Amino acid sequence: MNLGKSIKGSLIKSEYANKIEIEVPMSRFTKSLLMPIMCILLSSSAICAEQSELTITELAQDHFNFSCVQLEIVGVCFWLKCSLLTCSVEYSVLNSHFSPDLFVESRRSDSHSAGILSSIQHQPAKQIGKTLLGVEQGQGSKTASLQKKAKSSLQFTDVSITGSADIIMTDMIFNQMFNATGTFEWCDSKVTPFYPYFNSLLDLEWRLGLYEMLASVGNTDRKIEDNTNPAPITWGKIYPRTGHIIGDDPYRTSAVNVHKGADFITSDDHQWPHLYSAPPSDPNEIVGRGYGHVKESSDKAGKWQLNHPRERGNSCYIFPDPEAKLNSISSSNGNYIWTLWRKYNCCRREGQTFLYKIEFEDD
- Angle, helices 56-63 vs 28-44, to 10°: value is 130
> How confident is the model over 14-53, as pLDDT tens digits?
333 333 332 334 444 444 444 444 444 443 333 343 345 7
Q: What is the pLDDT of residue 280?
A: 83
Q: Do residues 316 and 68 make contact, with C-beta atoms less than 8 angstroms apart?
A: yes
What is residue 323's predicted lDDT score, i.e. its pLDDT? 78
286 in Cβ contact with 354 (< 8 Å): yes
H or E element that contains 56: helix 56-63
64 close to 339: Cβ distance less than 8 angstroms: no
Q: What is the pLDDT of residue 331?
A: 87
- CA torsion 293-296-299-305 (nearest 10°) is 100
Low-confidence ranges of the chain (pLDDT < 50): 1-51, 139-141, 143-144, 146-148, 150-151
For the chain, first and last CA: distance in Å?
A: 12
Residue 248 has a pLDDT of 85
Q: Which of 296, 305, 316, 301 is nearest to 339 (CA)?
A: 305
Cβ atoms < 10 Å from Cβ of 310: 14
pLDDT digits (tens, 9 = 90+) for 182-224: 999 999 988 999 999 999 989 999 999 999 999 999 898 999 9
Query: What pLDDT, on the 0 to 100 scale, is given for residue 190?
Result: 85
Name which of 192, 135, 187, 134 is nearest 161 in CA terms: 192
